[in-house]
Structure 1
């Protein structure tokens, strides 16, 4: 008989329940000489003065505090604040924190050893809108759908506790506490167990570049957590490189380890790391990846970046044949942009640097980054580093994600703004690309529901967000009319949030049912033909421009095999392709001769090994 599986991450801050000893509380509050621990037991508050230690730490071991008790920290001005490392906030971000015993959960995934990155098909979902209930428990009920689709890994949008009843999660303020409206920490762990039981990996989106504006009390007792020396789109930067930065770095690095160890997650996606400014000798991103790789050695851990700067060096494979020594992969916005403009013809904002540039289309598909150090006019700066030495699996390819849908004024999906044949063509490209594909929830059946930006602030902050959202689009020609701007969904409205909830009954009717069947078929083709090749595709491919929006790309797979993509991504036929000799993997549209018809895609595998006589 095997013993109970326990998973606990020990950290230098927060509340640590110790069986037979009580609970140890630690808080870094250098701005206060005295801090009180305020315990709420049976509705009655009880205060304990915490011992002060060097460098701003306060600590107390309370023998009577048990799991389930609520607590806050009392500042010298009388303010009561939650624990910044709270494991759970039953009454949202302004309420008391809850003492949690991580050992109490009964883990059932002891045999899980993870899945290799090369076979990954990612599926990004938002817990609050994936189901009508919007909980971890309800999400479990849909896991079999993902398995039958061909998904191997779920990428969960941020669950760190954020203010209000709904939000995207990128304004979280308590990064260790799962959002209470989604469920308890044990509910999230049960979701992970259920996913692992179905051979699904779980990756969590985490935000280390800023804290949200509502419920962030760090500045009240640890002002050194932030610095005015660096600026971000959200204001003062998190202090990773100045005075007092050591506890800040540890807070973030332990958060990464906490999710990976205590929740047995298979990876993290780090949001907008280009906004993490660190001028110290060892960048916090480097320290974080080294600590994770050194700590977790019994299974693959997938660390994914979002990085507008296209820094290929963060993805470098230092030891040949050793997989990802540093970060595993990066969301590849360039692939999204080249395929989006091909399918839609849109040219506003950053799309203007991709429209009509077939060289960039071929380069993004073959090499990963379209910008590898060249000037990007929209950003008015040079962008990127050479990426040809990286394997294709160092990039995550997609045609939809929460940003690219939700940052539109009305949150329209690509199937609402592009012809079906165009969407199928670009999907046939990215879903079979040697890069790692990612679908956004509902994409597999061309969901009719939008995914607009939504949040749930109050007072002046809510009005500022509402006003700012409309002003953001005022510079676009199509929103010059104030009346049209007023039709942009109110991000604070409950109806905006509700509009994003998937309608699962759609999959029973066409055209959604047919799109779902198509997606299953193309992912089955990927599993059968592309995944076995990926270990032998170790470098970028080569691209050839055939005509406007028409390219041919080849990747060498070992000594003799070549994977070939031929794509005509426009509404006109294009001549100049090959005869399509080789083993056909996928044909989309009319793609059988030297001339490809509009919106046609051909995937072929050639073998130059001598045939036996």
Structure 2
């Protein structure tokens, strides 16, 4: 029996059912082009769907649809585009892959150590399978979750992924559907969860044929990246199902553990049941069916706790969200030029608020926005926020693609690592950050339309005009721009890079083995500002019987700190000024004392962090 609301192609042992949504078309043809050409008329169904069951059809068969019976276009819900965004779609039989992860049950949200990577630049080969040999390295580092930048089919072979135009199809140049499945399988075998970045706020320009089928887009709203999607206008039911079903597609067909949802504030929906609430319900049902956690993490510009509240109390239902305010408030204390980029940040009190509350802007007037912004997130559990020093945006949207280690010195880079890994939030590293990789991460594309290439090049130049950069941004279309963005893996065991790598390993190990650092309840966190020089995090165990002091000095001068009377003796756990963590041969005279009593003044060296425990 044919059914609606499952866009794409579903195959059984002897047939495949083709489903496509085109509510304003009177006719739809299926054009099978390989291995045997056929032109078949599809049957109209309710809610604007067309369907057709075809017998004796094999995986890999290439096909187009003809909306209105006129011109060939790829399937909007194609699972594979082996010839690129303009070529025919190909049938994928997901049941043919033999999964080896039947015992995988996921990782608790609060235990996640995330690692964002771009498939094309993580290795020289730039494929899913080429990542697999590095999984043991990531396990040794302590990472237990990788987050892939978008892998939905985009034009050419070089792109960040946010220009994807086939949300269900896996990029052919990365290895296609089987390549992604092999990577996920291998990750689960090593105890690593896989998160995937997906984009539901716009589609890229090249190869975007959705408007040939139906009202996927609306002129009611605007986004900075392209036409807004129609989530609340006429015929929007099909659009909502198309994207909500896409989330389930990744969880079910690719065993993905979590989705990172790009810029959810640019998904506009004024309906009674918000699109995110609608998707939340479907994901929770699938979660019960699969018997493992399925995570949804938002990138949100709203500074609103409703993002991570359940729909029952008026929320969107996300399990977590990226905390940009934490990045901004920390970065401006590390890089003196940071205030030019983030004019609304700069005070030590703001970083303290980022630690204690989450959102720094919670109803304050923000110069950048020229209005008041945000609502307080005090009391929201720490596991609801993801913090980072770097990500694809923070690095790639600098004109020269500089990583943090290229902007600040070695000591401040260590300080930055400790700031996120000792936080009461979920930490995320950007590929190569752990060993201070010095490859830039540029913005790159590989379009085929000359007018579009020129528009991207000019748009990139205009984007940086407001920052008064003295250099021209590299050409996004130039293949060399892409090649320069690839990691320099050979450096990770050399000199300062090896020390930085060991520093990250030690901090991650401390986070994973210390019960106090595993407590993400912010009610058990106290933050003390040390003038405009540093802060102290006083963290408490869940049973409230033991404490940890994390003392940060962001200044170029020594800071005096008096130990609290919570314990008669404090024992040092880690100190960035100990000899093993110094870039150059030097005495560790600047290191804090190994043990100290209560109410004792100690000196915390410039640009350093040290941690004390009372047991």
TM-score (ref. length: structure 2): 0.91
Q: Choose the corresponding residue for 1:28, options 21, 29, 54.
A: 21
Name the residue aligned to 2:549.
564
Most deviating of 180-189 and 502-511: 502-511
Separation (CA, whole Å) in 1 of partners of 2:174 and 2:612: 44
Separation (CA, whole Å) in 1 of partners of 2:570 and 2:281: 43
Q: Give the Å deviation of 1:290.
A: 2.4
Separation (CA, whole Å) in 1 of partners of 2:559 and 2:206: 54
Q: What SS does the corresponding residue of 2:518 show, helix, strand or coil?
A: helix
Q: Does 1:450 align with 2:440?
A: yes
Is the contact between residue 305 and residue 327 of structure 1 (CA under 8 Å) also seen in structure 2? yes
Name the residue aligned to 1:244.
235
Separation (CA, whole Å) in 1 of partners of 2:522 and 2:446: 45
Separation (CA, whole Å) in 1 of partners of 2:114 and 2:183: 17
Q: Give the Å deviation of 1:269.
A: 0.5
Is the contact between residue 457 and residue 476 of structure 2 (CA under 8 Å) also seen in structure 1? yes
Separation (CA, whole Å) in 2 of partners of 1:240 and 1:591: 57
Separation (CA, whole Å) in 1 of partners of 2:73 and 2:60: 18
Change (3 A) 1:540 1:161: farther
1:211-290 matches, cutoff 5 A: 211-222=203-214, 224-290=215-281
Change (3 A) 1:233 1:582: same
Q: How far does the alpha carbon of each residue in 1:298-343 deviate from its partner, in whole angstroms, 9 at most, with x for none?
A: 11222211111122122137999xxx99322111111111221111
Q: What SS does the corresponding residue of 1:80 show, helix, strand or coil?
A: coil
Separation (CA, whole Å) in 2 of partners of 1:491 and 1:325: 35
Q: Choose the corresponding residue for 1:598, options 576, 581, 606.
A: 606
Q: How far does the alpha carbon of each residue in 1:454-513 deviate from its partner, in whole angstroms, 9 at most, with x for none?
A: 11113100111001111111222333xxxx32xx21111100000111121112321212
1:79-94 matches, cutoff 5 A: 79-94=71-86
TM-score (ref. length: structure 1): 0.91
Most deviating of 177-186 and 597-606: 597-606
Change (3 A) 1:109 1:507: same
Q: Does 1:301 align with 2:294?
A: yes
Name the residue aligned to 2:67.
75
Q: How far does the alpha carbon of each residue in 1:426-480 deviate from its partner, in whole angstroms, 9 at most, with x for none?
A: 211211212111110011111121101111113100111001111111222333x
1:20-169 matches, cutoff 5 A: 20=14, 22-42=15-35, 44-76=36-68, 78-169=70-161
Q: Give the Å deviation of 1:578.
A: 2.8
Q: Give the Å deviation of 1:368.
A: 1.6
Separation (CA, whole Å) in 1 of partners of 2:236 and 2:411: 52
Most deviating of 503-512 and 446-455: 503-512
Q: How far does the alpha carbon of each residue in 1:543-569 deviate from its partner, in whole angstroms, 9 at most, with x for none?
A: 222111411233443233334322111
Is the contact between residue 87 and residue 176 of structure 1 (CA under 8 Å) also seen in structure 2? yes
Q: Give the Å deviation of 1:515.
A: 1.5
Is the contact between residue 392 and residue 441 of structure 2 (CA under 8 Å) also seen in structure 1? yes
Separation (CA, whole Å) in 2 of partners of 1:162 and 1:54: 31
Change (3 A) 1:464 1:534: same
Name the residue aligned to 2:570.
582
Separation (CA, whole Å) in 2 of partners of 1:207 and 1:161: 12
Consecutive unaligned residues in structure 1, runs of 5 or more: 1-9, 608-613
Separation (CA, whole Å) in 2 of partners of 1:434 and 1:35: 54
Most deviating of 397-406 and 50-59: 50-59
1:391-540 matches, cutoff 5 A: 391-457=381-447, 458-479=449-470, 484-485=471-472, 488-529=473-514, 533-535=517-519, 537=521, 539=523
Is the contact between residue 566 and residue 577 of structure 1 (CA under 8 Å) also seen in structure 2? no
Q: Give the Å deviation of 1:535.
A: 4.5
Consecutive unaligned residues in structure 2, runs of 5 or more: 578-590, 594-600
Q: What SS does the corresponding residue of 1:428 show, helix, strand or coil?
A: helix
Separation (CA, whole Å) in 2 of partners of 1:200 and 1:475: 41
Change (3 A) 1:412 1:257: same
Separation (CA, whole Å) in 2 of partners of 1:32 and 1:536: 53
The CA RMSD over aligned residues, in Å, is 2.2
Change (3 A) 1:536 1:87: closer
Instruction: Count how many residue pairs are aligned between Structure 1 and Structure 2.
Output: 585
Separation (CA, whole Å) in 1 of partners of 2:523 and 2:285: 26
Separation (CA, whole Å) in 1 of partners of 2:211 and 2:137: 44
